[in-house]
Structure 1
Amino acid sequence: MQNVQTTTLSRATLMFPLALVLFEFSVYIGNDLVQPAMLAITKDFGVSSSWAPSSMSFYLLGGACVAWLLGPLSDRLGRKKVLLGGVTFFTVCCLLILFTDNIESFLTLRFLQGFGLSVISAVGYAAIQETFEERDAIKVMALMANVSLLAPLLGPVLGAFLIDHVSWHWGFIAIALLSFFSWFGLKAKMPEQKVSIPKQPFSHMVDDFKQVFKNKRFLGLTIGLPMIAMPLMLWIALSPVMLVEELGLSSMQYGLAQFPVLGGLILGNIVLIKMIDKLPLGKTVLMGLPLMLLGTVIVVIGLFIPQYFLHCTILGMTLVSFGEGISFSVLYRFALMSSNVSKGTVAAAVSVLMMFSFFFVIELVRVLYESFHLWAYGLSCFALIVLWYSFPRMMLKEVLQERKEAGEF
Structure 2
Amino acid sequence: MQNVRTTTLNRTTLMFPLALVLFEFAVYIGNDLIQPAMLAITQDFAVSATWAPSSMSFYLLGGACVAWLLGPLSDRLGRKRVLLFGVLFFALCCLLILLTHNMAQFLALRFLQGIGLSVITAVGYAAIQETFEERDAIKVMALMANISLLAPLLGPVLGAFLIDYVSWHWGFVAIATLAGLSWFGLKAKMPSQQHSVTRQPFVYLFDDFKKIYLDKRFLGLSLGLPLVGMPLMLWIALSPVMLVDELKFSSVQYGLAQFPIFMGLILGNIVLIKIIDRFPLGKTILMGLPIMLVGTLVLLVGAIWQDYLAVCLLVGMTLISFGEGISFSVIYRFALMSSPVAKGTVAAAVSMLLMFSFFIMIELVRELYVHFHVLAFSLSCVVLITLWFLLPRLMLKQEMAIRHTHDQF
TM-score (norm 2): 0.99
Does the 8 Å contact 2:244/2:254 carry over to 1? Answer: yes
Q: Deviations over 1:50-79 (max 9, x none)?
A: 000000000000000000000000000000
C-alpha distance in 1 between matches for 2:21 and 2:348: 19
Distance in 2, Cα, partners of 1:258 & 1:208: 40
Aligned to 2:138: 138
Distance 2:266 2:302 in 1: 24
Partner of 2:191, secondary structure, is coil
Q: Which amino acid aligns with 2:36?
A: P
Q: Which amino acid aligns with 1:219?
A: L
Deviations 1:283-329 (CA, angstroms, capped at 9, x unpaired): 00000000000000011011121011110111011000000000000
Tell me, in whole angstroms, the C-alpha distance in 2 between the residues paired with 1:25 and 1:196. Answer: 26
Task: State the alpha-carbon separation in 2 of the partners of residues 24 and 196 from structure 1.
Answer: 22
Amino acid at match of 2:168: W
Could you tell me which residue of structure 1 aligns to residue 188 of structure 2? Answer: 188
> In the alignment, which residue of structure 1 is the partner of 2:47?
47
- Given that 1:79 and 1:193 are in contact with CA atoms closer than 8 Å, whether structure 2 keeps it comes out as no
Q: State the AA in 1 paired with 2:323.
A: G
> How far off is 1:194 after superposition?
4.9
- Name the amino acid aligned to 1:35: Q
Larger deviation, residues 217-226 vs 37-46 = 217-226
Residue by residue over 1:235-289, the C-alpha shift from the partner in whole angstroms, topping out at 9 and shown as x without a partner, is: 1000000000100110100000000001000000000000011111110000000
Is the Cα contact below 8 Å between 2:56 and 2:237 reproduced in 1? yes
Deviations 1:105-156 (A, max 9, x none): 0000000000000000000000000000000000000000000000000000
Deviations 1:156-181 (A, max 9, x none): 00000000000000000000000000
Opposite residue 265 of structure 1, the aligned amino acid is L
Q: CA deviation at 1:198?
A: 3.9
- AA aligned opposite 1:52: A
| Residue 360 (structure 2) pairs with residue 371 (structure 1) | no
Matched residue, 1:395 = 395
Q: After superposition, where does 1:327-366 map in structure 2 within 5 Å? A: 327-366=327-366
SS at match of 2:278: coil
- Asked if the contact 2:153/2:258 (under 8 Å) is kept, the reply is yes
Unaligned runs of 5+ in 1: none
Residue 3 of structure 1, CA deviation: 1.0
Secondary structure of the corresponding residue to residue 123 of structure 2: helix
The superposition leaves residues 206-234 of structure 1 with CA deviations (integer Å, 9 ceiling, x where unpaired) of 11111111110111111110100000000
Unpaired stretches in structure 2, ≥5 consecutive residues: none
> Aligned partners of 1:265, 1:194: CA distance in 2, in Å?
30
For 1:276, what is the secondary structure of its paired residue?
helix
> Which secondary structure state, in structure 2, belongs to the residue aligned with residue 59 of structure 1?
helix
| Structure 1 residue aligned with 2:288 | 288
Match of 1:90 in 2: 90
**Contact 1:240-1:254 at 8 Å conserved across structures:** yes
The aligned counterpart of 2:22 is: 22
User: What is the match of residue 404 of structure 2?
Assistant: 404
Equivalent residues of 2:27, 2:116 under 8 A apart? yes
Give yes or no for contact 1:27–1:117 (8 Å, CA) kept in 2: yes
Instruction: Give the match for residue 256 of structure 1.
Output: 256
With over 3 angstroms needed to count, the CA separation of the structure-2 counterparts of 1:309 and 1:343, relative to structure 1, is: same
Residue in 2 that maps onto 1:123: 123
CA distance in 2, matches of 1:121, 1:211: 20
Aligned letter for 2:33?
L
Q: Secondary structure at the match of 1:281?
A: coil
Structural mapping, 1:4-23, within 5 Å: 4-23=4-23
For residues 69 and 95 of structure 2, what CA distance do their matches in structure 1 show?
Answer: 24
Residue identity matched to 1:263 = M
Cα drift, residue 197 of structure 1:
3.2
CA distance in 2, matches of 1:230, 1:408: 36
Question: Do the aligned partners of 1:2 and 1:195 also contact (CA within 8 Å) in 2?
Answer: no
Count of equivalent residues: 409
Structure 1: how far apart are the matches of 2:134 and 2:238?
A: 35
Shift of 1:193: 3.1
Equivalent in the alignment of 1:380: 380
Change (3 A) 1:125 1:198: closer
Asked if structure 2 preserves the Cα contact closer than 8 Å seen for 1:5 and 1:194, the reply is: no
Asked if the contact 1:160/1:255 (under 8 Å) is kept, the reply is yes
The verdict on how the C-alpha distance between 1:165 and 1:394 changes in structure 2, with shifts beyond 3 A counting, is same
Q: TM-score, normalised by structure 1?
A: 0.99
